[in-house]
Amino acid sequence: MASAYQSYQTIERLQEAIGQEVTLNGWVYDTTGKGKLQFIKLRDGSGIAQCVVFKPNVAEEVFEAAKSLTQESSVRIVGTVRAEERAPGGVEVDVKEIKIWQIAKDYPITPKEHGDAFLMENRHLWLRSTRQHAIMRVRATIVKAIRDFFDGNGFTLMDSPILTPAACEGTSTLFETEYFDLGKAYLSQSGQLYGEASAMAQGKIYTFGPTFRAEKSKTRRHLTEFWMVEPEAAFFELADDMDLAEDFVEYIVQTVLKHRQQELAALGRDVTKLEKVRRPFHRMSYTEAVEWLNKNNVKLNRKQADGTEIQVDFPWGEDFGAPQEEALMQQFEKPCIVHRYPTEVKAFYMKRDPENPKVALAMDMLAPEGAGEIIGGSQREDDFEALKERILSHDLPLESFEWYLDLRRYGSVPHSGFGLGLERTVKWITGAEHIRETNPYPRMIYRIQP
RNA sequence: UCCGAAGUAGCUCAGUUGGUUAGAGCAUCUGACUGUUAAUCAGAGGGUCGUAGGUUCAAGUCCUACCUUCGGAGCCA
């Protein structure tokens, strides 16, 4: 006897079963009655199949069962598959038997429109809708593409811990918890520091897992819990890091195009835009970007002491906000890497450019179509004294970073890496309006249910 | 944290200068129909108008506070 995962017929493969009798298990997505004719749209997680019950052809109790079905009731249907032009997808099931697992009463999400708050309160049910189903399938494909890319290019998976003793980039945005007798522990906001140690052991590594930011950000680009993949490679300089990032993002996008056309179509995504995501991407230095902003009259809103706002030329040294990034990207159809940011606006572990100590060997990748920053990375400081001085000048506790400094004591080498935010990448590729749709159970500043 | 917007039926919304019994569509229930794709048609049930206080002969509507949600900024992936 075959086990359930082998024997039960999935709707995805119904085309192959034309002429055969099949058994389908699933949930009622929609019903329509037409007198002696009942249509049941059955959803089984793999797809949706139209099932038809015609009164003269079935036993009385089967027709009554069909009439009693409500949205999201769970059923097993036995019937014959046949080609039918009038049915969506070109096939339908001529129903012979119905077994009702459970009748659902008053399913809250109807085929009509709903508000954001309502859908988020019912996130556990919203996931059943066609749109959310498609986004989750694209997400799963992106995750697989990420793993395949690194696994296939000599990177070893070396996951970093989630519970950490100290901050990676300052403590202001960390979730805190008690850790037995050892005091406070924090949820990791990046696996990078551990990733660097791992790279010194394996050469090329990547970490992939959830990260946590207690930032009080309330925008359509922010989650407090999100997944990040962070490659780190010994002997990589900034140029290598940027090449890697371009290859990687191109691979992800092209893999989704190859395997998820159906889902992208269901989402109404303009795939011609994604087809253009081919190397080489655009690149410009931070300094060039500032010049571009000022040449194109993209001003910065600055608050005065009296509370009023004035518009000023973008000053060199200030970090870009979402409005600057968006303005910059409007000229491009492909992602753009902006590199060599001012040292002051970047993290302590980034190496300074030997040719210009005012800038760090940092790079961000901005995605087109308003998607914004998806990658942040850098070449790391590999000089012991320079790194130690940076830790102290950032008021970070030196004793917490002794192990990290060891990486510069024992065989320090140039090395680089970056972090790619999974949900932001899913948002860009699916064209989702809001990042809350890109994670099955998103955590946001004002929402932790369900 | 700051700026802006909104809370009316299970859901999405309308509700005029304050004025009799607060409306519609969808959903639910009953009935009709052999091709529906968010079916259609006929009928029925469904409300502490976010909470508390105030003004008034009279408050869904005006005022105050609070709560909740949404959008944006900063910060970031």
What confidence score (pLDDT) does residue A1 get?
40
What confidence score (pLDDT) does residue A403 get?
93
Name A284's Cβ contacts closer than 8 Å, sequence gap at least 6: A292, A336, A337, A338, A339
> Which nucleotide has the shortest C1'-to-CA distance from A323?
B73
Kindly state the tokens that stand for A178.
């008690």
A304 CB below 7 A from strand B atoms: no
Nucleotides of strand B within 7 Å of the protein's CB atoms: 1-2, 10-13, 25-29, 32-40, 68-77
A84 CB below 7 A from strand B atoms: yes
Tell me the pLDDT of chain A (450 aa) as tens digits: 445 665 567 898 898 899 999 999 999 999 998 889 999 999 999 999 999 999 999 999 999 999 999 999 999 999 999 999 888 888 999 999 999 999 988 888 987 778 888 898 889 999 999 999 999 999 999 999 999 999 999 999 999 999 988 755 555 678 888 888 888 888 998 899 999 999 999 999 999 999 998 877 788 888 999 999 999 999 999 999 999 999 999 999 999 999 999 999 999 899 999 999 999 999 999 999 999 998 988 878 776 655 566 778 888 988 898 888 988 998 999 999 999 999 988 889 999 999 999 999 999 999 998 888 999 999 999 999 999 999 988 888 888 899 999 999 999 999 999 999 999 999 999 999 899 999 999 998 888 877
Nearest to A286 by CA among A188, A364, A207: A364
> Which nucleotide has the shortest C1'-to-CA distance from A190?
B77
Contact A214, A171 (CB under 8 A): no
What confidence score (pLDDT) does residue A7 get?
59
A71 CB below 7 A from strand B atoms: yes
d(C-alpha A91, C-alpha A40), whole Å: 13
A64 CB below 7 A from strand B atoms: no
A191 CB below 7 A from strand B atoms: no
Residue whose pair of structure tokens reads 């005065």 in the numeric block: A304
Contact A312, A385 (CB under 8 A): no
d(C-alpha A188, C-alpha A362), whole Å: 21
Spacing of A108 CA from B18 C1' in Å = 36
Residues forming a β-bridge with A138: none
What confidence score (pLDDT) does residue A3 get?
57
Q: For A61, phi and psi rounded to 5 degrees? A: -70, -25
d(C-alpha A191, C-alpha A203), whole Å: 16
Kindly state the tokens that stand for A198.
């791992």
d(C-alpha A380, C-alpha A233), whole Å: 10
Find the helix or strand (DSSP H, E) in which A192 lies.
Answer: helix A192-202
> Which nucleotide has the shortest C1'-to-CA distance from A220?
B71
Contact A171, A150 (CB under 8 A): no
Residue whose pair of structure tokens reads 């400081």 in the numeric block: A381
> Which nucleotide has the shortest C1'-to-CA distance from A427?
B77
Residues 306-345 of chain A with CB under 7 A from strand B are 319, 321-323, 325, 345
Name A176's Cβ contacts closer than 8 Å, sequence gap at least 6: A184, A185, A186
CA distances from A246 to A12, A46, A194, A250, A418 (A): 34, 33, 24, 6, 12
Asked casually if ipTM beats, i.e. exceeds, 0.95, the reply is: no
Q: Using CB atoms within 10 Å of the CB of residue A195, give its burial: 0 to 12 exposed, 13 to 18 middle, 19+ buried.
A: buried
What own/partner pairs with CB < 8 Å and gap ≥ 24 does A283-288 have? A283/A242, A283/A336, A283/A337, A283/A338, A283/A339, A284/A336, A284/A337, A284/A338, A284/A339, A285/A338, A285/A339, A285/A340, A285/A359, A286/A338, A286/A339, A286/A340, A286/A341, A286/A342, A286/A359, A287/A316, A287/A340, A287/A359
Kindly state the tokens that stand for A116.
């954001």
> Which nucleotide has the shortest C1'-to-CA distance from A71?
B27
What confidence score (pLDDT) does residue A306 get?
55
Residues 379-398 of chain A with CB under 7 A from strand B are none
Report the 10 Å Cβ neighbour count for A244: 22
- State the maximum Cα–Cα separation within chain A, in Å, rounded to a whole number: 87
